[in-house]
């Protein structure tokens, strides 16, 4: 038991002195006996003194003992006793990091969500704070938000904790730690100079399912994790894909992937809902992901064999735009991954413009893609074409313009693909030609390179491209990027530094043209640039991602209808660009204005780490294992209310005893 | 219990010689049994003229005043004071509490009693000595004459000092046994838990010429004790636990003064004499100075 009051030492010292003091009264005084002629006058004198003296000898009296007990309990309560407290040399600064990611929405067996439990635990911590403590509150999901800066005001902290609402986003700790450390380090102090001394207790309320937990380095605080949650019972949709048929665009295929993240085998149903009407149901049966203790030790669900998955496919006919939803018919811990959404636009053939001096390989390749119309121009035709042939309603008439070996600055808002050329914009330039370079690395996880094998690819020469951020390099060679994605407002450039032919050598520049992976690569590029995976298909967003759509220029009063029924105002930027970032819940977001058909965007969790709700038993960060403890272990539980209750009880007894004595 | 003394320890010869000159004086004139050296209220045959009265038949013609008859031709009888002996009683408290103090109160009391008795014997008064302790007695009653001095001193020297001593009982017994009036000297510390009032009322009721002499030792007047003590009453064994401090001592002295004042007031109001004596006051000074000043001796 510890005491929160700074005055507890003198209070308890006084308390400790009381028993010996009372014991003194029990000691019998050893008196010297002497004979006198008569005790008559002495007795009278003693009696007189007793009558006139303000003090008298302590007499054994139950009321006295009860009152002594009340005083002792009051002194104890004033010292604010608490339960056991983990010894800490950081007394005063506490950072409450509360995970509000999707997995924290899991409902435990007692019916409370993990976030609710975390909030209650955090409120307990706030309740146990002394006058010398200060705390700040940070809510973390895909982004971190400071809900309360350092303060000793408990009510402010409580309000901040209560204001944290659940999200369906993935969890990330790094930003929250950076924020916390920025608040902890005093202004003007060199962060690196005294980096050894922890300045605050970072109390992280989480189930441990944070994407970057093991990468986080904590330098100016001592991280303690308060593990939240116990259940691992969850089955989630981990992928959804809705696409129109290549040849029969009115046919829509919906593919879904479901995974069992629990320690028990699961049998359930999955249904397809189209525009709110159920179109079909499939039964699912999946083995467990692993034993419960195995799950608690797993940092990621990918460590297990993926035979605990089930794939489903639905087909239906929809000649117009449809909203598609896959729904799992099972009550489990996490509801956010039991539904997955997709918006299938109406059948629309991609319009592609290929600008090439006569690259037959490329033309054949593009023609093989699932596109509607393909126009093939020479670079001269492109430069001389009237604006009306290229621009419609302020943006490119073509969904994708492929420029083969032709660098240009005629770039209307739209999607561009360059081969052996660069857009003539400020932040991208070609410094020369690289011969016999070596391709070093490529990002296999990027959608453009999905299912593309580059191991056998050889390229003779490519442009030495310099692209400043925010350009993203996807294939990197010894001297710079080979494949780059550059974005400007309303423009998207996918730049491949080499072409298929080497004009100077009059030969093929790469052996890639003979590789089937080039076909896949081209399909990926088209999908990526057009935001589709085929005819009438959108690229899905995750919670927390920013929705970006375009509306006609000068359009005002654009609203966002959220899946939870709320309506938000959206800000229209220049050139009719609308972005909306508050996509913390899964579902379909509708963006539009009066007299304008809303544009629909589906936001899905589709995050196996968040669906894997089994709490992580021993979290680790980059700086080592972290301390894990319950609230009672990390922070003391205040005991003074119980002492006060005991005092009230003794007071009641004392009153009863007194009442019986004075009754005649 | 007091150790038996030699009679000479009570009165030394030199002091006896100084007592020779003294006599006991009574403020009241009492009727004696025998002719003595004291003028009685009875008119009788002494040489001291008292008064005249008319002759009545049967009067002794020897007491007719013929000179008055010669001038007035009327018969008057001359009346003379008759000289009688005086009853002098000394009550000595010999309870256990009197055997306390340095010098001892019992020794002091016996010496005072011896001195008063000697004066009474020498002057042919009828001297009665009574001691009381646990019970009334022993008593040496009605002794007269100088030749009884040794007996008196021997009696006093061998008085035991014992028992609780009830003043009331002793005074009642004395009053019952000695109806004749006279001088009564009561020597006691008067520290009786039963109170002194009832006892004194018995003596005052008999119209004795009462002298109450309160004897206290210096240890009782100015106690020099300290610390946490258990006081044992030598008479009844009563225990009193005290913690002596300045306040308690002051309170004790105040109570003692009040007690003595109450005794004095009680006596004075009833025409009795009260005399306080500490045993540190030299015995001869008490007898030769204070008792004379009080009028018991002259």
A43–B contact, CB cutoff 8 A: yes
Identify the contact set of chain B against chain A, taking CB-CB distances under 8 A: 97-98, 100-101, 105, 189, 191-193, 217, 220, 225, 227-235, 238-242, 247-248, 251-252, 254-256, 259
d(CA A422, CA A91): 58
Looking at chain B, which residue has its C-alpha nearest residue A49? B248
Residues A462 and A596 in one domain: no
A32–B contact, CB cutoff 8 A: yes
Order of strands across the sheet with A439-442?
A: A373-377, A351-355, A400-404, A414-419, A491-496, A481-488, A472-477, A439-442
Which residues of chain A make contact with B255, given a CB cutoff of 8 A? 41, 44-45, 48
A556–B contact, CB cutoff 8 A: no
Give mean pLDDT, residues B35-58: 61
Position A243 scores a pLDDT of 81
Residue where a domain stops, chosen among A530, A562, A588:
A530
Tokens representing A560? 């966002």
Cβ within 8 Å, pair A38-B101: no
Residue where a domain stops, chosen among A282, A309, A342:
A342
Cβ within 8 Å, pair B255-A48: yes
Position B52 scores a pLDDT of 77
For residue A325, pLDDT over 90 is answered with yes
Top residue of A45, A51, A52, A53 to mutate, by most chain B CBs within 10 Å, is A45
Q: Is residue A14 part of a domain?
A: no
Position A190 scores a pLDDT of 53
User: Of A299-308, A346-355, B18-27, which range is least confident?
Assistant: A299-308
A320: helix, strand or coil: coil
Position A533 scores a pLDDT of 39
For residue A511, pLDDT over 50 is answered with yes
For residue A268, pLDDT over 80 is answered with yes
Q: Is residue A276 part of a domain?
A: yes
Residues A311 and A386 in one domain: no
**pLDDT tens readout for residues B132-158:** 887 787 888 888 888 888 888 889 888
Q: Is the dihedral of CA A331, A332, A334, A340 positive or negative?
A: negative
Residues A190 and A286 in one domain: no
**pLDDT tens readout for residues A406-439:** 888 888 888 899 988 888 888 888 888 888 778 8
Position A59 scores a pLDDT of 61
Cβ within 8 Å, pair A34-B232: yes
Q: Is residue A87 part of a domain?
A: no
How, if at all, do strands B87-93 and B126-132 pair? Answer: parallel
A50–B contact, CB cutoff 8 A: no
A33–B contact, CB cutoff 8 A: yes
**pLDDT tens readout for residues B160-202:** 888 777 888 889 989 888 888 888 999 999 988 888 999 999 9
User: Of A62-76, A276-290, A359-373, B76-90, which range is least confident?
Assistant: B76-90
Q: State how far residue A48 is from chain B, nearest Cα, in angstroms.
A: 8
Give mean pLDDT, residues B17-35: 67
Nearest to A41 among B105, B225, B255 (CB): B255
Position A634 scores a pLDDT of 67
For residue A505, pLDDT over 80 is answered with no
**pLDDT tens readout for residues A346-374:** 876 778 899 988 888 888 888 888 787 88
Which residues of chain B make contact with A46, given a CB cutoff of 8 A? 240, 242, 248
Residue where a domain stops, chosen among A315, A342, A369:
A342
Cβ within 8 Å, pair B255-A37: no
For residue B107, pLDDT over 70 is answered with yes
Cβ atoms within 10 A of the Cβ of A366, count? 22
How, if at all, do strands A558-561 and A567-572 pair? Answer: antiparallel
Position A596 scores a pLDDT of 75
Looking at chain A, which residue has its C-alpha nearest residue B251? A45
Residues A368 and A408 in one domain: yes
Q: State how far residue A37 is from chain B, nearest Cα, in angstroms.
A: 4
For residue A165, pLDDT over 70 is answered with yes
Position A137 scores a pLDDT of 94
Residues A593 and A630 in one domain: no
B109: helix, strand or coil: helix
**pLDDT tens readout for residues A28-82:** 556 788 888 888 888 888 877 766 655 555 666 777 788 888 888 888 887 777 6
Top residue of B255, B257, B261 to mutate, by most chain A CBs within 10 Å, is B255
d(CA B271, CA B266): 9
Q: Which residues contact B230 (CB under 8 A, 6 or more apart)?
A: A31, A32, A33, A34, B239, B240, B241
Q: Is residue A71 part of a domain?
A: no
Q: Output the average pLDDT for chain A.
A: 81
Q: Is residue A651 part of a domain?
A: no
Residues A398 and A505 in one domain: yes
CATH of the domain at A104: 3.40.50.410
Range of the domain at A246: 235-342
Residues A139 and A171 in one domain: yes
**Domains of chain B by start residue, with CATH:** 7-29+85-294 (3.40.50.410), 39-83 (no CATH)
Give mean pLDDT, residues B97-121: 89
Q: State how far residue B226 is from chain A, nearest Cα, in angstroms.
A: 10
Nearest to A37 among B97, B240, B251 (CB): B97
Q: What percent of chain B has pLDDT over 90?
A: 19
Q: Name the residue among B240, B244, B239 with its Cα closest to residue B224.
A: B244
Element (H, E) at B92: strand B87-93
pLDDT band at A170 (very low <50, low <70, confident <90, very high): confident
Tokens 């596109």 belong to which residue? Answer: A371
Residues A586 and A526 in one domain: no
Q: State how far residue A68 is from chain B, nearest Cα, in angstroms.
A: 27
Q: Is residue A41 part of a domain?
A: no
How high is the ipTM of this complex? 0.79
Position A338 scores a pLDDT of 92
Q: What percent of chain A has pLDDT over 90?
A: 14
Give mean pLDDT, residues A96-120: 92
Maximum Cα–Cα distance across chain B: 88
Q: Is the dihedral of CA A26, A27, A28, A32 positive or negative?
A: negative
**pLDDT tens readout for residues B48-69:** 566 777 888 877 787 888 888 8
Which residues of chain B make contact with A35, given a CB cutoff of 8 A? 100, 231-234
pLDDT band at A523 (very low <50, low <70, confident <90, very high): confident
Q: Is the dihedral of CA A84, A89, A91, A96 positive or negative?
A: negative
Residues A486 and A452 in one domain: yes
Looking at chain B, which residue has its C-alpha nearest residue A35? B232
Cβ within 8 Å, pair B240-A33: no
Evaluate whether A184 touches A200 at the Cβ level (below 8 Å). Answer: yes
Give mean pLDDT, residues A591-595: 81
Q: Where are the alpha helices (DSSP H) in A104-193?
A: 114-127, 154-162, 174-184
Q: State how far residue A41 is from chain B, nearest Cα, in angstroms.
A: 6
CATH of the domain at A292: 2.60.40.10
Position B262 scores a pLDDT of 92
Residues A476 and A504 in one domain: yes
A419: helix, strand or coil: strand
Cβ within 8 Å, pair B233-A39: yes
Position A48 scores a pLDDT of 76
Q: State how far residue B50 is from chain A, nearest Cα, in angstroms.
A: 51
Q: State how far residue B272 is from chain A, nearest Cα, in angstroms.
A: 24
A162–B contact, CB cutoff 8 A: no
- Cβ contacts below 8 Å, chain A against chain B, sum to 84
Q: State how far residue B251 is from chain A, nearest Cα, in angstroms.
A: 5
Looking at chain A, which residue has its C-alpha nearest residue B194? A40
Tokens representing A135? 């705390």
A655 phi and psi angles, rounded to 5 deg: -65, -40
Position B33 scores a pLDDT of 46
Evaluate whether B57 touches B153 at the Cβ level (below 8 Å). Answer: no
Structural domain count of chain A: 4
Residues A172 and A319 in one domain: no
A17 phi and psi angles, rounded to 5 deg: -75, -20
Cβ within 8 Å, pair B235-A34: no
Looking at chain B, which residue has its C-alpha nearest residue A33? B230
Looking at chain A, which residue has its C-alpha nearest residue B260? A41
Tell me the CB-side half-sphere exposure of residue A404, using CA atoms within 13 A.
21
CATH of the domain at A373: 3.40.50.880
**pLDDT tens readout for residues A428-487:** 888 888 887 788 888 888 878 888 888 778 888 888 888 887 788 888 888 788 888 888
Maximum Cα–Cα distance across chain A: 145
Q: What percent of chain A has pLDDT over 70?
A: 85
Q: Output the average pLDDT for chain B.
A: 82
User: Of A71-85, A384-398, A607-621, which range is least confident?
Assistant: A71-85
Helices B197-205/B246-269 angle, 10° precision: 20
A2: helix, strand or coil: strand
Q: State how far residue B218 is from chain A, nearest Cα, in angstroms.
A: 12
Position A117 scores a pLDDT of 93
Q: Is residue A51 part of a domain?
A: no
Q: Is residue A220 part of a domain?
A: yes
Position A300 scores a pLDDT of 74
A38–B contact, CB cutoff 8 A: yes
Position A113 scores a pLDDT of 92
Position B91 scores a pLDDT of 93
Looking at chain A, which residue has its C-alpha nearest residue B233? A38
Residues A129 and A148 in one domain: yes
């Amino acid at each position: 038991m510890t005491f929160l009051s700074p005055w507890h030492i003198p209070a308890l010292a006084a308390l400790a002195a009381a028993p010996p003091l009372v014991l003194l009264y029990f000691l019998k005084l050893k008196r010297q006996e002497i004979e006198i002629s008569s005790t008559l006058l002495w007795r009278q004198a003693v009696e007189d003194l007793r009558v006139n003296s303000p003090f008298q000898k302590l007499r054994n009296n139950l009321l006295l003992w009860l009152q002594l007990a009340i005083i002792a309990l009051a002194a104890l309560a004033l010292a604010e006793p608490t339960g056991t407290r983990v010894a800490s040399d950081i007394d005063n600064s506490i950072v409450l990091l509360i995970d509000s990611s999707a997995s924290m929405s899991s409902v435990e067996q007692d019916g409370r969500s993990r976030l609710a439990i975390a909030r209650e635990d955090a409120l307990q911590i706030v309740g146990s704070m002394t006058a010398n403590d200060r705390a700040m509150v940070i809510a973390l999901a895909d982004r971190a938000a400071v809900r309360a800066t350092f303060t000793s005001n408990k009510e402010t902290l409580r309000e901040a904790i209560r204001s944290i609402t659940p999200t369906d986003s993935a969890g990330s700790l790094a930003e929250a730690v950076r924020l916390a450390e920025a608040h902890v380090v005093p202004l003007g102090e060199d962060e690196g100079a005294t980096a050894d001394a922890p300045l605050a207790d970072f109390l992280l309320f989480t189930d441990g399912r944070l994407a970057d937990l093991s990468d986080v380095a904590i330098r100016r605080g001592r991280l303690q994790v308060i593990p939240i949650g116990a259940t691992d019972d969850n089955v989630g949709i981990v992928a959804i894909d809705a696409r129109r048929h290549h040849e029969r665009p009115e046919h829509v295929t919906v593919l879904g992937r479901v995974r069992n993240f629990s320690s028990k085998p699961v049998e359930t149903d999955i249904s397809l809902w189209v525009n709110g009407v159920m179109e079909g149901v499939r039964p699912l049966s999946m083995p467990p992901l692993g034993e419960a203790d195995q799950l608690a030790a797993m940092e990621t669900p990918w460590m297990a064999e993926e035979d605990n998955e089930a794939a489903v496919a639905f087909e239906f006919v929809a000649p117009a735009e449809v909203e598609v939803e896959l729904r799992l018919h099972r009550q489990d811990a996490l509801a956010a991954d039991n539904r997955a959404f997709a918006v299938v636009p109406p059948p629309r053939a991609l319009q592609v413009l290929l600008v090439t001096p006569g690259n037959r390989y490329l033309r054949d390749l593009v023609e093989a893609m699932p596109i509607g119309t393909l126009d093939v121009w020479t670079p001269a035709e492109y430069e001389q074409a009237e604006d009306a042939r290229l621009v419609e309603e302020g943006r490119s008439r073509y969904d994708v313009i492929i420029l083969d070996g032709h660098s240009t600055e005629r770039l209307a808002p739209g999607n561009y693909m360059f081969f052996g050329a660069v857009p003539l914009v400020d932040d991208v330039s070609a410094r020369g030609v690289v011969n016999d370079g070596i391709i070093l690395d490529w990002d296999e996880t990027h959608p453009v390179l999905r299912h593309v094998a580059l191991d056998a690819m050889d390229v003779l020469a490519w442009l030495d491209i310099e692209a400043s951020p925010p350009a993203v390099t996807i294939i990197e060679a010894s001297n710079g990027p080979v494949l780059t994605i550059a974005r400007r407002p309303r423009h998207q450039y996918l730049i491949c530094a080499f072409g298929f032919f080497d004009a100077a050598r009059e030969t093929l520049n790469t052996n890639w043209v003979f590789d089937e992976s080039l076909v896949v690569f081209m399909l990926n590029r088209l999908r990526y640039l057009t935001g589709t995976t085929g005819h009438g298909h959108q690229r899905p967003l995750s919670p927390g991602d920013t929705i970006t759509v375009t509306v006609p220029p000068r359009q005002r009063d654009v609203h966002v209808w959220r899946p939870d029924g709320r309506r938000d105002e959206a800000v229209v930027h220049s050139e009719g660009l609308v972005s909306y970032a508050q996509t913390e819940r899964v579902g379909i977001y509708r963006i539009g204005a009066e007299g304008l058909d809303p544009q629909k965007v589906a936001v899905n969790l589709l995050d196996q780490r968040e669906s894997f709700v089994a709490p992580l038993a021993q979290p680790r960060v980059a700086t080592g294992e972290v301390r894990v403890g319950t609230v009672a272990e990390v922070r003391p539980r205040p005991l003074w209310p119980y002492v006060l209750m005991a005092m009230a009880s003794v007071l009641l007894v004392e009153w009863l005893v007194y009442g019986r004595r004075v009754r005649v | 219990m007091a150790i038996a003394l030699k009679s000479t320890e009570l009165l030394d010869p030199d002091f006896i010689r100084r007592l020779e000159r003294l006599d006991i004086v009574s403020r009241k004139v009492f009727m004696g049994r025998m002719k003595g050296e004291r003028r009685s209220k009875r008119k009788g045959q002494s040489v001291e003229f008292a008064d005249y009265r008319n002759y009545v038949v049967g009067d002794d013609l020897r007491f007719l005043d013929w000179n008055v008859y010669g001038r007035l031709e009327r018969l008057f009888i001359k009346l003379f004071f008759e000289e009688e002996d005086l009853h002098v009683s000394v009550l000595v408290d010999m309870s256990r509490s009197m055997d306390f103090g340095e010098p001892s109160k019992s020794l002091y009391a016996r010496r005072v009693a011896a001195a008063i008795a000697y004066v009474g014997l020498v002057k042919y008064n009828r001297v009665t000595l009574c001691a009381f302790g646990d019970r009334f007695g022993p008593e040496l009653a009605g002794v007269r004459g100088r030749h009884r001095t040794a007996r008196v001193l021997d009696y006093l020297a061998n008085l035991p000092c014992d028992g609780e001593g009830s003043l009331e009982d002793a005074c009642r017994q004395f009053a019952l046994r000695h109806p004749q009036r006279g001088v009564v000297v009561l020597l006691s510390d008067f520290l009786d838990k039963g109170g002194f009032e009832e006892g004194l009322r018995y003596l005052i009721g008999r119209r004795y010429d009462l002298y109450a002499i309160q004897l206290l030792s210096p240890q009782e007047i100015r106690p020099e004790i300290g610390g946490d003590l258990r006081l044992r009453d030598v008479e009844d064994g009563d225990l009193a636990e005290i913690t002596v401090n300045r306040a308690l001592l002051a309170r004790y002295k105040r109570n003692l003064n009040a007690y003595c004042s109450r005794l004095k007031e009680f006596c004075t109001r009833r025409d009795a004499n009260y005399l306080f004596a500490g045993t540190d006051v030299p015995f001869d000074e008490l007898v030769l100075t204070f008792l004379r000043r009080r009028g018991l001796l002259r």
